[in-house]
Amino acid sequence: MKSILMAIVMLAAAATAGAKDYPATPCDQLAANPEDEDVIAPPVPRTRVDLPKAIAACEAEVALHPDNARARYQLSRVLAYAGQSERGTAEMKRAADEGYRQAQFVYGLLIDRHRPDAPANPCLVEDYWLRSARAGRQAARVSYVRHVLNGKFDACRIQAAPAELKGFLDAAFPDTTDYFDRLLLKDLTAQLDARMGERSTPPPYSKASIKRPKDAIVTDCDRLASHPEDPDIVTTGVSGSKVDVPKAIAVCTTAVEREPGNARLRYQLARVLAYNGDSKRATEEMKRAADDGHRQAQFVYGLFVDRKRPDAPNDICVAEDYWLKAARAGRQAARVIYVQRLFQGRFDACSVQAAPHRARGAARVGCDRSTRFL
């Protein structure tokens, strides 16, 4: 633990040194934030900021020294106060990317608060807050650990190990004098200790909890129509461009008639029907396979609804329900898209069934690969 604390202190010192390369400028004198731990001029509360003068001074400094991340952060601050949200957010991101720890924290906050000019991606919050926390920003240390414990980053690859989280809290205590802040730190420490002390059991969406398909007879439908992205295929998957659609429809129709309760075969029939342009029948078969418990069909049927396919119901809450079923069954793509849509507010009109902590183990939000899943 001492080595972790020492590493945190060294990172913080390096970040602070980089932030103070330039002497105080009119931008600092007019726009320094009282909450910024790296200010080098008397800070100016928001109510006392002369916005036109501050914007002009900070624009001049950034034009003269484009690598002055402190000035760029201060420019973004006063632009936001002036109602120039889009430009303010862009400058905040640039200051954050240049390593200014206050900008890293605030940019993460803009995303976390769903600002319209910020991306809707909780994993960016995780990344920027972790950088800021490692650089010693007190608010980032506490906010990062709190979000981890509350499940806000469950869709992401959490980069900080539990020992580092403990280090953040330990480092935060000496810098905290407020009574209620210390109560929060004590509560977070207790939660983290309890989490670290839990026995290692697979969470509900972990790979260890996924039920693999039992031994099954491989049919011609499987050979011709298995999807490479379906985790429950029993033979090698066939990419969309290589499917012999007429032959696959014929053999899958026969297979489903023989085994009407086989949801895997019904999903594969729905897949090739969709490739053939038979949207109505494909949607019906996809729904039936989903209702029969095939997690890939549950995920894809949710996609049909989300994309407003003409033969699917126009109700995002239906997608929420099917995606959650697929996520609970361990379907990776469903885990990701469920948390994405939840974070974006797409399910606000629904009775959301998943508590935040139950999404633990979901994959990092990456590029939208959903076009490959049909």
Supply the CATH number for residue 132's domain.
Answer: 1.25.40.10
Whether residues 338 and 227 fall in one domain: yes
Contact status, residue 258 vs residue 289, Cβ threshold 8 Å: no
pLDDT at 47: 95
The answer to whether residue 188 sits within a structural domain is: yes
Look at residue 212 and tell me if it is in a domain.
Answer: no
Same domain for 357 and 229: yes
Residues 254 and 140 in one domain: no
Total domains in the fold of the chain = 2
User: Which tens digit of pLDDT belongs to each residue from 201-251?
Assistant: 444 444 444 444 556 789 999 999 999 989 999 999 998 889 999 999 999
3-20 pLDDT tens trace? 544 544 444 444 444 444
Q: Is residue 107 part of a domain?
A: yes
**Within-domain flag for 287:** yes
Are residues 180 and 55 part of one domain? yes
Asked if residue 198 has pLDDT above 80, the reply is no
Query: In this structure, are 43 and 107 located in the same domain?
Result: yes
Last residue of a domain, one of 182, 197, 212: 197
- Same domain for 85 and 175, yes or no, is yes
Residue 136, pLDDT above cutoff 90? yes
Residues 6+ away with beta carbon under 8 Å from 190: none
Residues 261 and 152 in one domain: no
- How large is the average pLDDT for residues 319-345? 87
Write the Ramachandran bin of 64: left for phi over 0, alpha for psi from -120 to 50, otherwise beta.
alpha
251 in the same domain as 149: no
Segment 179-183 mean pLDDT? 87
Percent of the chain as helix, strand, coil, to the nearest 5: 60, 0, 40
pLDDT greater than 70 at residue 372: no
pLDDT for 111: 93
Mean pLDDT computed over 308-336: 89
Could you give the percent of the chain with pLDDT greater than 70? 84
Cβ-in-10-Å burial (0-12, 13-18, 19+) of 53 comes to: middle
**What are the structure tokens assigned to 189, written together?**
């420490």
Predicted TM-score (pTM) of this structure: 0.53
In a domain, 269, yes or no: yes
* CA distances, 157 to each of 97, 130, 328, 360 (Å): 20, 12, 19, 11
Mention every residue, 6+ apart, whose C-beta is less than 8 A from residue 214: none
Q: Is residue 211, in this structure, part of any structural domain at all?
A: no
pLDDT at 159: 85
Whether residue 232 sits in one domain with residue 161: no
- Give Cβ neighbours of residue 339 (< 8 Å, ≥ 6 apart): 122, 154, 155, 359, 362, 365
The larger pLDDT score, comparing residue 168 to residue 207, is at 168
Which pairs from 301-304 meet CB under 8 Å and 24+ separation? 302/326, 302/334, 302/337, 303/370, 303/373, 303/374
Question: In terms of residue numbers, what domain contains 121?
Answer: 2-197
Closest CA to 93 of 58, 121, 139, 128: 128
On whether residue 289 sits in a domain, the answer given is yes
Which pLDDT score is estimated for 354? 58
Same domain, 262 and 316: yes
Residues 224 and 365 in one domain: yes
Q: What pLDDT was estimated at residue 210?
A: 44
Q: Residue 206: inside a domain, yes or no?
A: no
Among 156, 182, 197, which residue terminates a domain? 197
The string of pLDDT tens digits covering residues 65-82 is: 999 999 999 999 999 999
Cα–Cα distance for residue pair 87/81, rounded to 1 Å? 11
How many residues are present in the chain?
374
* Same domain membership, residue 236 and residue 140: no
Q: How far apart are CA 370 and CA 70, in angstroms?
A: 40
Looking at residue 368, what is its pLDDT? Answer: 37
